[in-house]
Amino acid sequence: MSLRVTVLGCSGIYATAEKACSGYLVEIGETRLWLDAGAGSWQNLMKHLEYESLTGILLSHRHPDHVTDVFQAYHSRYWGHPGRLPPIPLWAPAELIERIYAFSSDSADAFDLHEIEEETAIEVDDARITFTRMAHPPVTLGVRIEHENAVFAYSADTGQGADFDRLAREADCFVCEATYQDSDPIWEGHMRASQAGEMAAKVNAKNLVLTHITPRRDTDRSLAEAKATSGDVDVSVAHDGMRLEVGE
């Protein structure tokens, strides 16, 4: 079985006419996992599968640019199908679970809600999913997926203060936020592209994919800044529809 990740959205802060907010389709065997559900990512998800075949949702934290489209899944499963579909697992930090349930108590009929924290481990289709607390104001969990000999890591939103070694050591593919550029003021809750490159080199990742870049920024500049600090790591910039074959 392969581990494949498709970028459904990669825009930081808000969606644009060209890019959805953070969202990724993770395919492992028969598992179809939606990782983060930022604005616009649902529509892109529908380009790759029918919503009935989605098998789980994993949300890193409660900020809207990572979660708002989860209610599209709720409406489709609860109202959009002749006879309601059975709930699928939805994993998220406790404070986000509370907000989803507060939005509609019926969400528990669409989702099998599971709270996750740094100590949580999930097993799906011979893959192991673990979490790292990231340096971002709300409870934010980075995601590490290990399947056979392949390792995928996703930073979600974070500053430099997180345990990147735990998250992304020897990752075949490290999707890391690069919200800012070197000319921007430093804010500890997000990273510059050059910092993402530095972290990828530090953990000996094979490939770095920059994501969550602020709209209206020159992505070629972000790419150049990351390459300047990443050593031998291959670096690319995420775009909607990008397919990542992890470990191949």
The CATH number linked to 219 is 3.60.15.10
Per residue in 213-233, pLDDT tens?
A: 999 999 999 999 999 999 999
Q: What is the pLDDT of residue 82?
A: 79
Task: Tell me if 75 is assigned to some domain.
Answer: yes
Task: Tell me if 163 is assigned to some domain.
Answer: yes
Task: Tell me if 247 is assigned to some domain.
Answer: no
Strands 88-92 and 127-133: unpaired
For residue 12, which of 40, 45, 32 has the smallest C-alpha distance? 40
Range of the domain at 166: 3-241
Task: Tell me if 199 is assigned to some domain.
Answer: yes
Are 41 and 74 in contact by the 8 Å Cβ rule? The answer is no
The letter for the amino acid at 138 is: P
Are 6 and 24 in contact by the 8 Å Cβ rule? The answer is yes
> pLDDT higher for 208 or 107?
208
Task: Tell me if 223 is assigned to some domain.
Answer: yes
Spatial neighbors of 102 by CB under 8 A, at least 6 apart, are none
Mean of pLDDT values over 72-93 = 90
Mean of pLDDT values over 16-24 = 97
Structural domains of the chain, count: 1
Q: What is the pLDDT of residue 1?
A: 57
Per residue in 150-201, pLDDT tens?
A: 999 999 999 999 999 999 999 999 999 999 999 998 889 999 999 999 999 9
The letter for the amino acid at 21 is: C
Mean of pLDDT values over 125-154 = 97
What is the C-alpha separation between 218 and 3, in angstroms, rounded? 30
Task: Tell me if 96 is assigned to some domain.
Answer: yes
Q: What is the pLDDT of residue 190?
A: 97
Task: Tell me if 91 is assigned to some domain.
Answer: yes
Q: Is the pLDDT of residue 248 over 80?
A: no
Q: What is the pLDDT of residue 186?
A: 85
DSSP 166-197: HHHTT-SEEEEE--B-TTSPP-TTS-BHHHHH
The letter for the amino acid at 31 is: T
Global pTM value: 0.97
Are 192 and 178 in contact by the 8 Å Cβ rule? The answer is yes
Task: Tell me if 248 is assigned to some domain.
Answer: no
